[in-house]
């Protein structure tokens, strides 16, 4: 599951085509190239990598349950997927060997690669994959990301040990992209028969590491899978991983994580702060991996289902009332280029419209006056019929780094000049989900990672206002537009790549011109690591690092 780039470059080139019809069966992922200037000699086996995460500790190590990014980060070390991305950004088979689709797009046949075994000794076959899909689609699993990714599957049948036939409700040209995500990774069907608590504690996969133990609020301990063989061989590394294991620690405080890296107590940290990245890149002892996530851009969504944002003019006024560019420039030290698209720049089909997002308080004022918000109260906030123009903005502290929270505070200040009151509520993840579920928000920043432009249907199709079994729903701007639904349905079913590109461009244009969201920048994925850790740079299709090729210099 290799997605390799030299460290100074981004991981997803804009020209990569993702059409399922163009996938070439049997293309091997690219080989990890040695880092430039590497004089540590040939790889050596042994040692335990210590990884320090600033994300919230998962409540379950099985990414089928729920389906968030912290789960994907750790699960990418012990679970593998049917498909992945190669170094050119092309979708390629991994645990799968091939896949074909019928002319009407309603039957997808997946060939499973033979000779692969889970770490509990269970063989990988079509029945095993079927059991995983059933697990994801079972409401009792409480999946969100995986459930939504497989939502078009109507029925499935193992035709033989190597062949799984999927019948679809409607054509789905994004299905292979979904198969590349850790939230749809393949686990031992025998292990899935355990209780959910048992499986959450130690999922069983086919990856280069396996879960040895999990001490909650401390660390997950992974050990090398001694019997691991890459599904698709790559030159230069046969057999098991070089590392003996990985200690996956949870250190919420950014400064503490960085201090531990500087002191040599940990080898890799995530969620590095922009000022820290800028300082660290000047050091010889610390290196930087920038791996922007695919799917949606990091954005603020405007809840169009309730006042005041049920008025498109007020949504447009808000977008012109906040000075995002100045905040990004001052707070992110060049680590987060501004986005003007619903999609990450990692997505080749991203459509951008910079002209819609100029900071223009005069225009904001004109729009608000015309919408009836023409009076101001004693604190300077606009009013209408005695009601203040007030916006509730719940922010998850575990999903928003301090620099981003500072950006929100600067937006709060500039919005006040135009008469908007923004009430920022810093919440833990559980409370944040509660605010969304009860529709108690006007603004929300909710990261969503998915391979391919079909994430637009998850985020903006009216069907996505219906919660997944986990209780999470993704259309947080609550767009309900039949024209947009039709565009997204057509874009997700066509087998013509040119038509797919055009339809997704039209859909993005409609969302942007409807002022349903305020794009900020790519979902940030910055990793700092010790210079003694070699061959870092391989990632999955969702930009989570993998450490099969990594080793510790003596």
What's the burial of 372, exposed, middle or buried (CB within 10 Å: 0-12/13-18/19+)? middle
CATH number of 298-521: 3.10.105.10
Please give the Cα distance from 202 to 5 (Å, whole number): 31
pLDDT in tens, the chain (554 residues): 433 322 222 233 223 332 333 232 333 333 333 343 456 789 999 999 999 999 889 999 999 999 999 999 999 999 999 999 988 889 999 999 999 999 999 999 999 999 999 999 999 999 999 999 999 999 999 999 999 999 999 999 999 999 999 999 999 999 999 999 999 999 999 999 999 999 999 999 999 999 999 999 999 999 999 999 999 988 889 999 999 999 999 999 999 999 999 999 999 999 999 999 999 989 999 999 999 999 999 999 999 999 999 999 999 999 999 999 999 999 999 999 999 999 999 999 999 999 999 999 999 999 999 999 999 999 999 999 999 999 999 999 988 889 999 999 999 999 999 999 999 999 998 899 899 989 999 999 998 999 999 999 999 999 987 777 766 678 999 999 999 999 999 999 999 999 999 999 999 999 999 999 999 999 989 999 999 999 999 999 999 999 999 999 98
Q: Any idea where the domains of the chain sit in the sequence?
A: 20-37+45-291+525-552, 298-521
Q: Which helix (H) or strand (E) element contains residue 84? A: strand 83-85
The pLDDT score that the predictor gives to residue 466 is 73
Give the gyration radius of the chain's Cα atoms: 23
The pLDDT score that the predictor gives to residue 41 is 86
Please give the Cα distance from 290 to 276 (Å, whole number): 13
What is the third-level CATH fold of 20-37+45-291+525-552?
D-Maltodextrin-Binding Protein; domain 2 (3.40.190)
Three-point CA angle 465, 519, 84, nearest 5°: 75
209: phi then psi, degrees, rounded to nearest 5: -130, 165
């Amino acid at each position: 599951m290799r997605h390799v780039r030299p460290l100074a470059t981004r991981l997803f080139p804009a020209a990569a085509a993702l059409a399922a019809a163009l996938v070439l069966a049997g293309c091997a992922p690219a080989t990890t190239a040695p880092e430039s200037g590497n004089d540590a000699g040939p790889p050596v086996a042994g040692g335990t990598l210590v990884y320090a995460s600033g994300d919230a500790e998962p409540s379950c190590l099985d990414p089928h349950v729920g389906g968030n990014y912290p789960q994907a980060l750790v699960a990418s070390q012990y679970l593998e997927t049917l498909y992945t991305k190669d170094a050119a950004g092309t979708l390629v088979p991994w645990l799968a060997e091939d896949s074909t689709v019928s002319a009407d797009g309603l039957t997808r046949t997946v060939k499973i690669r033979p000779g692969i075994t889970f770490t509990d000794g269970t063989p990988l076959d079509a029945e095993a994959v079927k059991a995983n899909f059933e697990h994801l689609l079972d409401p009792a699993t409480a999946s969100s990301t995986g459930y939504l990714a497989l939502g078009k599957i109507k029925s499935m049948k193992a035709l033989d040990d190597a062949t799984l036939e999927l019948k679809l409700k409607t054509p789905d040209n994004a299905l292979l992209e979904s198969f590349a995500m850790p939230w749809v990774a393949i686990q031992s069907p025998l292990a899935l028969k355990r209780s959910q608590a048992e499986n959450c504690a130690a999922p069983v996969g086919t990856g280069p590491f396996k879960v040895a133990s999990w001490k909650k609020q401390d660390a997950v301990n992974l050990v090398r899978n001694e019997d691991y063989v890459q599904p698709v061989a790559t030159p230069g590394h046969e057999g098991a991983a070089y590392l003996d294991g990985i200690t996956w620690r949870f250190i919420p405080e950014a400064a503490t994580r960085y201090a531990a890296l500087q002191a040599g107590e940990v080898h890799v940290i995530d969620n590095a702060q922009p000022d820290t990245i800028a300082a660290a890149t000047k050091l010889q002892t610390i290196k930087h991996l920038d791996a922007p996530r695919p799917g949606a851009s990091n954005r603020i969504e405007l809840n169009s289902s309730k006042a005041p944002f049920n008025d498109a003019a007020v949504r447009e006024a808000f977008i012109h009332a906040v000075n995002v560019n100045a905040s990004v420039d001052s707070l992110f030290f060049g680590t987060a280029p501004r986005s003007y698209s619903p999609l990450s720049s990692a997505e080749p089909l991203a459509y951008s419209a910079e002209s819609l997002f100029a900071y223009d308080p005069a225009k904001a004022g004109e729009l608000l006056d015309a919408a009836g918000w023409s009076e101001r109260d004693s604190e300077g906030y606009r009013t209408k019929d005695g009601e203040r123009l007030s916006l509730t903005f719940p922010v998850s502290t575990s999903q928003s780094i301090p620099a981003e929270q500072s950006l929100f505070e600067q937006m709060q200040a500039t919005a006040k000049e135009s008469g908007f009151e923004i009430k920022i509520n810093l919440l833990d993840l559980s409370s944040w989900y509660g605010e969304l579920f009860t529709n108690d928000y006007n603004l929300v920043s909710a990261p969503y990672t998915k391979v391919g432009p079909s994430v637009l249907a998850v985020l903006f199709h009216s069907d996505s206002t219906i919660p997944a079994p986990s209780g999470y729903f993704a259309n947080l701007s609550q767009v309900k537009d039949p024209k947009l639904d039709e565009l997204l349905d057509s874009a997700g079913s066509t087998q013509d790549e040119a038509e797919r590109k055009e339809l997704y461009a039209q859909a993005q244009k409609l969302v942007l011109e409807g002022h349903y969201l305020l794009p900020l920048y790519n979902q940030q994925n910055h990793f700092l690591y010790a210079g003694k850790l070699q061959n870092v740079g391989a990632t999955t299709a969702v930009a989570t690092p993998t450490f099969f090729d990594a080793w510790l210099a003596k």
